[in-house]
A and B are shown apart, each in its own frame.
Chain A
Amino acid sequence: MYDSKVIRRRRAALAIFVVLSLGLLTVYFGESSGGALHSVQRGVQAVFSPLETGVNRALKPVRDLFGWVGDTFEAKGENERLRDEVAELRERLGESETARHDVRELRQIVGLHETEGFPQGTDPVGARVIVRSPTVWYATIGIDKGSDDGVRVDQPVIAAGGLVGKVTDVSGGSAQVTLITDASSAVAAQVMPNGATGIVHPVVGKPDDLLLDYISKGRRVTEGTTVVTSGFETEDGRRSIFPRGIPIGRVTKVDPDEAEQFQRVHITPLADIRGIDYVQVLTERGITTQAGIPAQ
Chain B
Amino acid sequence: MKRTPDAYLRCALIAVAAVLLQISGLGSGRVLGAYVDLAPLIVAAVAIYAGAVPGAAMGFGTGLLLDLLVGQTLGASSLVLTAVGYGVGRYREVRDPAHGLMPIPVGAAATLAWVVAFAAVSFMLDIGATVSWLVLREMVATTLIGALLALPVFAIVRRVLRPVLLVDPVDLRRRRRAPRDAGPIGLRGLEV
Q: Which of B71, B75, B133 contacts A21 (CB 8 A)?
A: B75
Is B52 in contact with chain A by the CB < 8 A criterion?
yes
Asked if A204 and B52 make an inter-chain contact with CB atoms under 8 angstroms apart, the answer reads no
Asked if B118 and A205 make an inter-chain contact with CB atoms under 8 angstroms apart, the answer reads no
- Chain B residues lying within 8 Å of A275, measured Cβ to Cβ, are 28
Query: Which residues of A (27-75) have their CB < 8 Å from a CB of B?
Result: 27-29, 37, 40-41, 44-45, 48, 51-53, 55-56, 58-59, 62-63, 65-67, 69-70, 73-74
Residue of A nearest to B83 (CB): A18
Surface stretch bound by A, among B3-11, B18-26, B100-108, B153-161: B18-26
Asked if B60 and A20 make an inter-chain contact with CB atoms under 8 angstroms apart, the answer reads yes
Asked, given contacts A137-B118, A203-B132, whether A62 binds B26 with beta carbons under 8 Å apart, the answer is yes
Most chain B CB within 10 A, of A10, A14, A74, is at A14
Asked if B25 and A62 make an inter-chain contact with CB atoms under 8 angstroms apart, the answer reads yes
Most chain B CB within 10 A, of A9, A20, A66, A176, is at A66
Asked, given contacts A48-B69, A138-B72, A205-B132, whether A10 binds B52 with beta carbons under 8 Å apart, the answer is yes
Is A25 in contact with chain B by the CB < 8 A criterion?
yes
Is B143 in contact with chain A by the CB < 8 A criterion?
no
Residue of B nearest to A59 (CB): B25
Residue of A nearest to B126 (CB): A184
Mark contacts of B114-132 with chain A using CB atoms, 8 A cut-off: 1 yes-contact digit, 0 otherwise: 0100110010011111111
How distant is the Cα of A25 from the Cα of B76 in the complex, in angstroms? 7
Is B59 in contact with chain A by the CB < 8 A criterion?
yes
Is A131 in contact with chain B by the CB < 8 A criterion?
yes
Asked if A136 and B68 make an inter-chain contact with CB atoms under 8 angstroms apart, the answer reads no
Top 6 nearest A-B pairs (CB, nearest first) are A66-B29, A132-B27, A24-B75, A205-B135, A59-B25, A25-B75
Given contacts A24-B78, A138-B72, A203-B130, 4 further A-B contacts (CB under 8 A): A10-B52, A27-B74, A134-B22, A205-B132
